[in-house]
């Protein structure tokens, strides 16, 4: 995971009313933009084969994650969802 200023910062987004009702959510949600590169094969420190994904978040998003462990965990979970 890394960051760049070209990626949009986090912000609120309207959730369609039908989705809000379906999932029991509010009509506003947090939008966390990211850029995900394709999967590539590599090797870990032991030499075992691994799959690598490059995630790029907004610089402000990463700064927030560095201060807030709960938000950082949300970013990790979001990343796994994308994979």
pLDDT of residue 15: 76
Strand, helix or coil for residue 23: helix
Strand, helix or coil for residue 21: helix
To which H or E segment does residue 80 belong?
A: helix 69-82
The two structure tokens encoding residue 67: 């201060």
Which residue(s) pair with 51 in the sheet?
41
| pLDDT tens-digit series, residues 19-58 | 777 777 767 778 899 999 999 999 999 999 999 999 999 9
Distance in angstroms between the alpha carbons of the first and the last residue of the chain: 13
pTM score, two decimals? 0.75
Furthest CA-CA distance within the chain: 49
């Amino acid at each position: 995971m890394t960051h760049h200023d070209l990626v949009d910062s986090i912000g609120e987004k309207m959730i369609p009313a039908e989705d809000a009702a379906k999932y029991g959510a509010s009509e506003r949600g947090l939008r966390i933009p990211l850029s995900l590169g394709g999967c590539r094969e590599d090797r870990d420190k032991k030499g075992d084969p691994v799959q690598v994904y490059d995630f790029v978040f907004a610089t402000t998003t990463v700064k927030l994650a560095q201060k807030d462990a709960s938000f950082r965990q949300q970013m990790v979970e979001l990343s796994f969802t994308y994979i």
